[in-house]
Structure 1
């Protein structure tokens, strides 16, 4: 259930109403990121306080808790409605913070895309100077073919035979 400004004004004190009023349509756009964060913290504090009062009053009516004070309202309805007012205001502030964050992220992505495009265009038309006509002869050949290492066939066969013998020993072992 949403509350009109008149309902909010009747439920809240003057200071609380000024805080909630700054979360409404034209005033919320004047706040920067830090202002929105501070406003959200204040609204969370108000909401949590009213939530505590509501729970306390419900416990009192059930008989599971002692009375809390003389000036506390008679039913849990009033603090519950005040809590809802603060919760709605907090929701508006969080939504605005999310929108600002999304805009910042989008701007960062756009900047990154522009940088990537500029790098791509730079690399596409990069100028590589020619080597010129005075190229050196390069490294000299030492001559001769590379040394070939040859493994004798008898050695190859002996390694295979040794592997076969080792496997036979393992197979002979008792489990």
Structure 2
């Protein structure tokens, strides 16, 4: 479920809210790529810090860690979890912007490579080899080393008739 901007105002401090506002559109589209990287780094640091605090409080509640220096474990764990989700959603938006920029740069680089390859291909001399000595005569047959067996047509008929006679003799 999405968290509205009113919830962001309620959960975040002024400094955090100002930076998270930059992760919303259309402000995110107006940022320079270097500023987007700085924003992503800051958002990740804040999300990780809050994630660690929530995990420490949960461990303290279960009795696996000391509860010194983490404040009241029950009081604001839910608020911190929501705050962490706000930062995670902001990171998701910023990462989507970074992915789009990365994809555009990659497409531009591929396009430049294609254009350069096409330019090289068009500027190179075409290779058309000569047809060789047999261009007018076509293919020449190659003789075979096998022995040619020729059978007389009358011999074929004699064998067929002998088979027919033998079968008729067996049938009677």
TM-score w.r.t. length of structure 2: 0.68
1:97 aligns with 2:61: no
Take 1:36 and 1:123, find their aligned partners in 2: how far apart are those partners? 44
In 1, Cα distance between equivalents of 2:71 and 2:17:
20
Root-mean-square deviation (CA), in Å? Answer: 1.9
Partner of 1:52: 52
Q: In structure 2, do the counterparts of structure 1 residues 72 and 33 end up closer, same or farther at CA, with 3 Å as the change threshold?
A: farther
Q: Is the 8 A contact 2:57 2:70 kept in 1?
A: no
**1:38–1:72 Cα change, 3 Å:** farther
User: Which deviates further from its counterpart, 53-62 or 64-73?
Assistant: 64-73
Q: Distance in 2 between matches of 1:53 and 1:70?
A: 7
Deviation at residue 125 of structure 1 after TM alignment? 6.6
Offset at 1:124? 4.5
Larger radius of gyration: 2
CA distance, structure 1, for counterparts of residue 68 and residue 26 of structure 2: 39
Kept after mapping to 2: 8 A contact 1:57/1:75: no
TM-score (norm 1): 0.66
CA distance 1:72–1:97, change in 2 (3 Å): farther
Q: Secondary structure of the equivalent of 1:68?
A: coil
Q: 1:106 maps to which residue?
A: 107
Distance 2:40 2:9 in 1: 19
Distance 2:58 2:34 in 1: 36
Q: Is the 8 A contact 2:53 2:70 kept in 1?
A: no
Which of structure 1's runs of 4+ aligned residues deviate more than 6 A?
none
Segments of structure 2 that go 5 or more residues without pairing to the other structure are 128-172
